[in-house]
């Protein structure tokens, strides 16, 4: 069974600060996707990383996939209150087929003005 | 922008009753999925569907569950005899590719159906 551990579980910081959240596993994933989920809504895809060592940037958000494709991180620069939300990582299993994603429990992020 | 839609947004049913949750995936997507999220817990994979058959299913997806693509646009999840523990948000997702070497696949989720079993 593949597991994804996200840390920290909760994070509350001031506007303008930088932060990093982590997504770790002992298993290799073929791809790693980051989602943001608002209460009562479905996950919204932010980014997908597929290559070990890959770095993708989305405005102030930087996503990195570990070299061994077992871990990933999300770094936010100059956090804003609009970044508040639940951030989920989800891994696609190695191999073909319509693989289901394995989700982490998420990081609850609060950016205080 | 194309999106996955789900109906109803909220379904209340009595234990033992059958429910059908409906989804309209993004039109050019070929792979379809159902997930569930029990309140306060992580999103869990139930089943994936491609070319009119189940591709993969989790341990949660037992004989009380079934999926169907009854026409060219809808994708449904049926729970035959609901239990209290089936109360959860159910999310449908769709993707354009599978996880084949050299390709990426990105799953897009619908807004969910909140199922409450009483």
Give residue-wise pLDDT tens across range B55-88: 999 999 999 999 999 887 899 999 999 999 999 9
3-state SS string for chain A: CCCCEEECCEEEEECCCCEEEEEECCCCEEEEEEEEECCCCCCEEEEEECCCCCEEEECCEEEEECCCCCEEEEEECCCCHHHCEEEEEEEEECCCCCCCEEECCCEEEEEEC
* Overall average pLDDT of the A68-76 stretch: 96
Chain A residue at shortest CA distance from B42: A105
Q: Which of A7, A58, A101 to mutate to test the interface with B (most CBs of B within 10 A)?
A: A101
Summarised one tens digit per residue, pLDDT across range A19-37 is 999 999 999 998 899 999 9
Q: Is B84 helix (H, G, I), strand (E, B) or coil?
A: helix
Chain B residue at shortest CA distance from A98: B98
* Overall average pLDDT of the B37-64 stretch: 94
8 Å CB contact of A99 and B109 = no
* B:3-32 residues touching chain A, CB 8 A cutoff: 4, 31
Which has more pLDDT, A1 or A33? A33
Whether B105 shows a pLDDT value over 90: the answer reads no
Q: Is B85 helix (H, G, I), strand (E, B) or coil?
A: helix
CA distance to partner chain B, nearest, from residue A100 (Å): 6
Whether A84 shows a pLDDT value over 50: the answer reads yes
Count of CB pairs separated by less than 8 Å, A with B: 84
Question: Nearest CB to B105: which of A31, A35, A40?
Answer: A31
8 Å CB contact of A30 and B41 = no
């Amino acid at each position: 069974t593949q597991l994804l551990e996200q840390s920290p579980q909760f994070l509350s910081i001031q506007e303008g600060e930088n932060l990093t959240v982590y997504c770790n596993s002992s298993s290799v994933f073929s791809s790693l996707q980051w989602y943001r989920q608002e209460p009562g809504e479905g996950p919204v895809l932010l980014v997908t990383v597929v290559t070990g060592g890959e770095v993708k940037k989305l405005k102030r958000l930087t996503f990195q996939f570990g070299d061994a494709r077992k871990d990933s991180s999300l770094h936010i620069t100059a956090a804003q209150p609009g970044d508040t939300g639940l951030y989920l990582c989800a891994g696609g299993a190695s191999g073909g087929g319509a693989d289901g994603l394995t989700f982490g429990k998420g990081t609850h992020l609060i950016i205080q003005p | 922008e194309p999106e996955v839609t789900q109906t109803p947004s909220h379904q209340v049913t009595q234990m033992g009753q059958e429910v059908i949750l409906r989804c309209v995936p993004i039109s050019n997507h070929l792979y379809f999925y159902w997930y569930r999220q029990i309140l306060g817990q992580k999103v869990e994979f139930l089943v994936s569907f491609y070319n009119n058959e189940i591709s993969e299913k989790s341990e949660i997806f037992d004989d009380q569950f079934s999926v169907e693509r009854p026409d060219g646009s809808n994708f449904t999840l049926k729970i035959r005899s609901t239990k209290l523990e089936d109360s959860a948000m159910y999310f449908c997702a769709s993707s354009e590719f599978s996880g084949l070497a050299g390709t990426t696949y990105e799953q897009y989720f619908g807004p969910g159906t909140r199922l409450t079993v009483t």
